[in-house]
Structure formats: C-alpha cells, structure tokens
Structure 1
C-alpha cells in the first residue's frame, strides 16, 4: 500500500493485554517492540487463516494505551529485571541471557480488503471474533496475550468505510475517539531529513547518524533576553531563557534491515535456518517515530504501517505514510540511518 491507497475496511482488536513482550527492539533502541515484529504477527495471522475467511491484510497500526517496562526502579541508571535460571547439574550457576520485557495494553488496527467486506454485519462480526480468538493463541512481539476483558469496549470489530469521502471521514473520527486515551506510533522520516539539512548548514560533514542522535535527545540552548528602558533605550534587564528543540514525542526506532552482502542462493550458507530460501546478511536500519494522540490522525492511511522491500537496493524496511499526508507536504529522507 502507499499514501494514495484507499483503505476500504479495518479490523480492530481493541485493548489487548500483552505480557512480557520484547522491549529490546534493536541493538540500539529499547522501550517498545519494533514495528517489524507487529508486521510479522500480521503475516503469521494471515497464514493461519488458510483461506478460512475471504480477506487480505494490507497494513497494521498500533495504539498503545499503557506500558510497563520491566526495569529496576530508583536511581538514574536502570537495568532490566532478569529471570534467574536453575543451576546446572554440577550445581554451578547458569549463564544469564539479558532479556528486556514489557507489559502492554494495545489496540491493533489491520487494514483489510476482500470478500468479507460485502458480507452481512453478523458475518463480519463472526469473522472479527474468530480472528481475535486465533490471535489470542499467538505471540505478540514475543509476549503472551491475556484473556479478553468483557464489555463492548473490548469487542473486536470490522469497520467498513462508506464510499462517500465525507461519510468515511465521519466514521474514522468516531473510531479515533474510541482509541483514547492512547498514543499511535507513526513514522517521521521527514524530521530526520530536516534535521540533517539543519546540521549541514553549520557542519558540512554531518551524517544521517548525527541527525538521528540529535533528534533522539533533548537539546537545550540558552538565549539572552534583553528588556530596554522605554525612555532611554538602554538595556534595563538581561535574563537567560532556556529552550529545547523538541517537535513532539519523538523516539528513535528501527525500521527494517539493510543488506551487508549479496543475495546468496538457497542452501549455500552454512547453519542458515532455512535451506530453501535465498540468504543475505543484513544490519538494522533506523529512523525517527512519533507518538501522537489518535485524534490527530486524519485518515487510516496515516496510522497503518506496511512492508516495502527493494532487493536490488538491499533495503527491507517498514513504512508509514503519516508525513506524506501532512500539509504542506514535507521532504522525506531517501535512506535511513
């Protein structure tokens, strides 16, 4: 899908409680699972359907209602709470493999198409419940799905949008209110490109990594504010004003993988997990994401993430078209960090 792709319907699985999901999203980031993990969930769920229902997934959006990263409390430095493995046969202490865990309450929103859209309301609701029950037996970013709570707010639903744009926009506005309180994760590649341009205006050798690190932190700068005497024009008062350059709730995120080698034929690389699929060594790609309240979204396209693979360029990444729908249109970065 792309920014211009029309979303005909959404499958909404509200307020899923996930226990012990993976909090380490990449070698350089932590605090929330990577979006590639949720797209993997979408593809795994699609394979489990095996043609049982006439629908296809086009993308996935995530709204987080609450999170509790399992880290130690107190002090400036924190560490993950780790499980202690049983001792070995000889009584020696077993090695500890560091694992980051996080408890989450999420609403998952799938963009769907297919024959299910033309079915009756009862058939669509039965499909939504069946898919929710199937997902409850799966892992979500490595975490376990807890039993669904009772009440209309926790019931899965397939929302079919009206063909009239005005009516479809009204339906989406109603959905946005149901997702509050919460925050949706969207891509802000445009801010990365803008910050890189700003850095290069004063530092010609600045790289995309410099811009990524600059956006990942609070940069406080001081300015001198002078108050002039209205009669004499002389400086009456000077004070220091501190400001930061944050443009929202920005976070560094992994967005896929970049190739480190050529594509090797299947079975030619020793110890590969799959001997029937071509193999390639890759490294993580990084960009900038933004957490924003769902009521700021103007369309389903701004919420959904989708896969975008370019084997020739060696890029396998996830994308989101929130920035493409902003007015005025913003510049995007052709390559991630």
Structure 2
C-alpha cells in the first residue's frame, strides 16, 4: 500500500459554488461526485499551474461539503432525476428519422445533476515560498480554476459569492508538531459548518465479521450491501414487553457507499491501439469501479491532515487504481 505524498502546505479553496456537477458517481451510487473526480481536478490544475510557470506539486485532496441540492423531483416516495432533452442539432425542432422511415424526437439522456457549495483542500509541496509569492500564486491558481470544470459542473464566478468567503488561503505545515497541530485546528475551524468525506473501509470488515457469525457464506459484497441500506430488526426484549423495531443506523453515523477507484478487466493496451479512445498517446485499459464505504463527519473531529486528505494508490501490476484516505475512527467517543 502506498503512503500519502510529502507536503509542506495545505491550500484551501473555500466555498466553491459548482452548478450541475455529476451526481451519478458510479454505476451503483449517486448523491455526490466520486472522489476520483476531485483527484482528476487536482492533477489537471497542477498541469495548468506548471504551464503558467509555478513550481508547485499537488499530492492529495480533501473535500468538505457545505451545502448540496441534488436535482431530483420533490414529490412522491420514489425520487427521479430532473432530466432535460438537450438538442443534438442546430434546429431544436428537427425530427430524427429512424430505420423504418418514421420520425421521432431525440431521446433524453439519463444524467444526474447536483448543485454544490464545497471547499477543496490541496496538499502542496513547495520550496521556499515568501508571502508576496504566495499571494501572487494563489491569485493565479484561483484564476486558472475559474476556467475549469469540477466533477463535470460549472464553477460559478467569484462575483456571485462574497469575496472574503472565496479567497484561497494557506496553512503552513513547515513548523514543529505543535505549530502544525495549531495550523490544522485553525484550518478545520475555517471549514465549519460543513462535512468532510473520509474512508471507512474498517466498517466493511466489522460488518463481514458479524454476517459470517450468522452465515459462513457471507462475502465482502454482502457486507457492503448491508452497510449501504437501513436494516431493521425486531427487538423482542423492549421495555414495554411488546417488542419494537430497531434499525442499525443509530451508531453508524452518516455512512455512505462510495466508489474509490478502478480495477482492471484485462491487460494494458498500447497507446493508440484501441479505436475511439479519448487519448491516443496514453496506454489504455478497460476497468470497472471499486467500492467501499465513506463517512461524512465534521472537520472539527479530524485530528491530522492525513484524516482529511485523499491520495492515489496506483498498482498497475495488480490492476488496481484506487483512492486512499488514512482516517482512523476514534473508538473512545
């Protein structure tokens, strides 16, 4: 297993207003963009700032959500995405002709959207960096970010949000352990109110152990599915003597199923050997999603930057390309 890359500062990009981000994070999950989207944004932003002459490295990213509005119907028990029929030709009224010669309108493309108010925390590895250079570089980074997409969504202009809330800032982690702890506490306080996404792979092991106690044939998929839903059971020992229905979510917290990367379905193909690939200069591989569990927690409950940050763990020889987070739950609370 790889470890989080070295970093000297934490760059906070606060209260980014993202319009119509992708709410379908994988073939089996929805409700918030995949963490892979934010790692991809980090790498794309690093390429842009290096092209602009900045000598900075981004190694990990943290995500804190302050508000969200998934674009779904508001009525009924079963919710559906609010879908649009986007014109695929210049004339929106033009009809399509099928193979039988009949006319039909363009079909609706299934896509989920969500409006987000989120803060991104980037782990930055930099050399000597004085205050004047920091301010210039932060202005350049924010300017480059304005022209990028975030998880498929559009970043609204900074003029639509109070300037003080949108201004990027840095936490310096080059001091001793006490200074670093103080800087991180200030960072977490500045991200409130909000919820940080962390990994909870340990919950799958715990649930699998409980399921195997009842059935030896239980698998990790069974454990993941069990954690992804609300499981009710009848408690015959309730105080009223009549029994009561209980669910298993009371002690879990805000736990959610999440995609955490990709697993290879076959061998690596040479660059340009697969027709219609997006990039003809990079080796190509067919993959499927990897799943785990995550938890949304308040930033004030984080103890170190490693609790917040996600980083890439790529092992091509094993066919694994996944995102890691080193959060460890506090079992004493």
Same fold (TM over 0.5): yes
CA distance in 2, matches of 1:206, 1:88: 54
Q: Which residue number in structure 2 is paired with residue 216 of structure 1? A: 228
CA distance in 2, matches of 1:242, 1:77: 23
| Secondary structure class of the residue paired with 2:78 | coil
Q: 1:7·1:300 contact (CA, 8 Å) conserved in 2?
A: no
- Structure 1 stretch displaced more, 49-58 or 279-288: 49-58
How far residue 171 of structure 1 moved from its aligned partner, in angstroms, is 1.6
Say whether residues 1:99 and 2:100 are aligned partners: no
How far residue 2 of structure 1 moved from its aligned partner, in angstroms, is 5.8
Q: 1:2·1:321 contact (CA, 8 Å) conserved in 2?
A: no
Q: Which residue number in structure 1 is paired with residue 247 of structure 2? A: 244
Say whether residues 1:189 and 2:210 are aligned partners: no
- Structure 1 stretch displaced more, 217-226 or 52-61: 217-226
How far residue 255 of structure 1 moved from its aligned partner, in angstroms, is 0.7
| Secondary structure class of the residue paired with 2:236 | strand
CA distance in 1, matches of 2:95, 2:234: 61
Q: Which residue number in structure 2 is paired with residue 87 of structure 1? A: 93
CA distance in 1, matches of 2:238, 2:300: 40
Q: Deviations over 1:113-170 (max 9, x none)?
A: 122xx22222212211210111011000000011122342321112212522112111
CA distance in 1, matches of 2:4, 2:280: 38
Q: Deviations over 1:41-97 (max 9, x none)?
A: 001101111251121001000100000000111111111111123333567311111
Aligned residues: 316
Q: Which residue number in structure 2 is paired with residue 131 of structure 1? A: 141
- Structure 1 stretch displaced more, 72-81 or 266-275: 266-275
Q: Which residue number in structure 2 is paired with residue 67 of structure 1? A: 68
Structure 1: segments with no counterpart, 5+ residues = 228-236, 330-337
CA distance in 2, matches of 1:123, 1:314: 41
Q: Which residue number in structure 2 is paired with residue 295 of structure 1? A: 300
TM-score, normalization by structure 2? 0.89
How far residue 198 of structure 1 moved from its aligned partner, in angstroms, is 1.4
CA distance in 1, matches of 2:66, 2:110: 26
Q: Which residue number in structure 2 is paired with residue 54 of structure 1? A: 55
Q: Which residue number in structure 2 is paired with residue 231 of structure 1? A: none
- Structure 1 stretch displaced more, 145-154 or 176-185: 145-154
CA distance in 2, matches of 1:217, 1:141: 25
| Secondary structure class of the residue paired with 2:141 | helix
How far residue 6 of structure 1 moved from its aligned partner, in angstroms, is 5.6
Q: Which residue number in structure 2 is paired with residue 165 of structure 1? A: 177
How far residue 210 of structure 1 moved from its aligned partner, in angstroms, is 0.7
How far residue 327 of structure 1 moved from its aligned partner, in angstroms, is 5.6
Q: CA RMSD in A?
A: 2.0
CA spacing shift, 1:223–1:286, aligned 2, 3 Å: same
Q: Deviations over 1:245-290 (max 9, x none)?
A: 2211010111111111111222333332333322221111111010
Q: Deviations over 1:159-185 (max 9, x none)?
A: 212522112111211111111111000
Say whether residues 1:269 and 2:281 are aligned partners: no
| Secondary structure class of the residue paired with 2:21 | strand
CA spacing shift, 1:301–1:140, aligned 2, 3 Å: same
TM-score, normalization by structure 1? 0.88
Say whether residues 1:143 and 2:144 are aligned partners: no
Structure 2: segments with no counterpart, 5+ residues = 87-91, 97-102
CA spacing shift, 1:268–1:3, aligned 2, 3 Å: closer
